[in-house]
Amino acid sequence: MRWIGHAPRAEADIVVDAHLTVVRAHEPAVAAEHALIHAVPGLTAATVHTDHAPTGSLDPHAVLAHHADRPRSPSP
């Protein structure tokens, strides 16, 4: 969670079945955002990223692996 302007925002990842359509995979993401907004006082929005459940040896995030060791800027 971080502050953007004067409002807190959240980011979350969820895992969905790899065989869902984009439309069906979007449904639990919206449900998660809705639940977060109700659960966290003052939260105005949440970005929920969907990942699919593993399907063999392919890692859809492999292209990002070399960024994992980079230091992150501290949140204000």
Q: What is the CATH number of the domain that holds 59?
A: 3.30.70
Q: Is residue 25 part of a domain?
A: yes
Using one digit for the tens of pLDDT, what is the confidence trace for 12-38? 999 999 999 999 999 999 999 999 999
Domain that holds residue 16: 2-67
Q: Is 73 a domain residue?
A: no
pLDDT at 16: 93
pLDDT level of residue 76 (50, 70, 90 thresholds)? very low
- pTM comes to 0.73
Phi first, then psi, for residue 47 (nearest 5°) are -100, 120
If one counts the domains in the chain, the total is 1
41 is a domain residue: yes
